[in-house]
Amino acid sequence: MITEDALIAISGLVAVVALLFLLITRYKWHVFIALLVPILLFAMVPGIDRQAFIVAFEQGFGRTIQSIAVVIVLGSILAEALKHTGGVERITATMIRWVGQQRMPLALTLSGFVIGVAIFSDVGYVILNPLVHSAALQTGLNMSVMATGLVGAMQLTHAMVPPTPGPLAAVALVGADIGTVILFGSLATLIGSLAGWGFALVVGPRIESPPSEEFVGQSFMERGLESQLPSTARAYAPILIPLVLIAGQSVTAFALPADHIVNAAMLYLGWPVVALSIGVLLAYRNTTREQGAARTGEWVESALRTSAMIIMVTGLGGSLSQILRDTPAVDAIAGAMAQTGLPAIFLPFVLGIVGNMITGSTTVGVITAAAIAAPMMDTLGLSPEATMLAGAAGSIIIKYVNSSYFWVCASLSRMPLKSALISFGGVTLVNGVFAMATVYVFWVIGWI
């Protein structure tokens, strides 16, 4: 044990979290340094066994990143490929064709639901923003109706469904089965996304948010270049095939005997490293001759830069989680939660809300919730999958002025600040509440 004193352990945890949020919000420190410094200071508290602390730090860090580092890099490379090859616009174009021009807000919401699985939300909105303005002008709808469902859906799947880095990090921290998380996370986010679309239809018409003509003519489709986009199958395949393989591994492991030939095949094909590698290869099939050098150089380097921060922060989250496991804080907090009479699953949900609302970062919210709740799962009677999904649902509530994603969407949509706060802050609240309600039902039934 790092310490036998519950008061020291709980005080140290509170101090670490408080200092983390202060360094990010007040002093604008990078999240890696902002998390590392409080953890190191925790070791200086009187009564801490520093040898045990060092062992816990190193074990927690190593065990956490060993299973996800390569997967996070591959997911980031896949996102780069989809961004540069036009896959995002093709997915949106086909969704509009399937749902219908007259239901454009729903089409964009469903596009965001798919795109958020593989692309960072802010990048996705930058790519689609010209199309959103053009669609609003053509249909006579305002930007609140047209963009709000899309903004919420992209953030929701980005927070809850691997292989985006935040959910992958949380899966590693709690030790969840990634296939199960994909299955039930997709269902929860679909319900949450549709709730966000409903919010946009009800609230949007009352919000001042006219579209702008300055973005018209910038998308591939408006420039008459739709033929240069990848086909529908080629655009969806890099996202859907890895998800099917990973989720399929969990399904076959549950449904078939361990020595079944299909299980043996899926054990390898559903391994996230292999599944995401297949996704990258499928995405690279969509590249042009001119992109040959970029795809093996610039795209990979950009993905590595993006991945490094997530991997390191996730590793530190694993260190904090292991440190907590070796203190009495886990039992004390879990016992206090039990005495409130609230369902245990709401602890990671609230932790995700607090982490996001204070720092403005969904990734910080997801990782904070998973790192703190992971050691308490057995005591609280929570499965890793329920813990991860509840924390992720909380981590998108609410996007407002301290969120970089909020400002990207608000500025590009040309919404006044008040309109953006109601539209985007409101939809992320609705998204998170409905997604959490779905996760809660799954937990009560015993599916997760």
Report DSSP letters for 76-127, one per residue: HHHHHHHHHHTHHHHHHHHHHHHH-GGGHHHHHHHHHHHHTTTS-HHHHHHH
221 pLDDT more than 70: no
Q: 361 is written with which tokens?
A: 């970062």
Judged by DSSP in three states, 297 sits in: coil
Q: Report the pLDDT value the prediction gives residue 1, as an integer from 0 to 100.
A: 81
Instruction: Summarize the confidence of residues 136-153 as an average pLDDT.
Output: 93
Q: Over 316-381, what HEC string results?
A: HHHHHHHHHHCCCHHHHHHHHHHHHCCCCCHHHHHHHHHHHHHHCCHHHHHHHHHHHHHHHHHHHC
The verdict on residue 13 lying in a domain is no
Mean pLDDT, residues 428-433 taken together: 96
Which structural domain, as residue segments, surrounds residue 296? 51-231+292-445
Residue listed under structure tokens 């983390």: 20
The number of distinct structural domains making up the chain is 1
In a domain, 330, yes or no: yes
Model confidence at 272, in pLDDT bands (50, 70, 90)?
very high
- Per-residue pLDDT reduced to its tens digit, 350-387: 999 988 888 888 888 898 899 989 988 988 889 999 99
Contact indicator for 100, 107 with CB cutoff of 8 Å: yes
Please compute the mean of the pLDDT values over residues 241-249 and round it to a whole number.
91
**How large is the average pLDDT for residues 287-314?**
86
HSE (CB half, 13 Å, CA atoms) of 63? Answer: 17
- Residue 147: name the closest of 90, 89, 105 by CA: 105
**252 part of a folded domain:** no
Task: Label residue 339 by pLDDT band (50, 70, 90).
Answer: confident
In a domain, 269, yes or no: no
d(CA 321, CA 336): 19
Average model confidence (pLDDT) across the chain: 89
**pLDDT at position 411 over 70:** yes
In a domain, 372, yes or no: yes
Higher pLDDT, 274 or 342: 274
Predicted confidence band of residue 287 (pLDDT cuts 50, 70, 90): confident
Query: How crowded is residue 55: how many other Cβ atoms within 10 Å of its Cβ?
Result: 15
Highest mean pLDDT among 61-65, 291-295, 339-343: 61-65
For 74-78, 399-403, 408-412, which range has the lowest pLDDT when averaged over its residues? 399-403
Q: What is the pTM of this model?
A: 0.87
- Cα–Cα nearest to 113, from 198, 193, 233, 196: 193
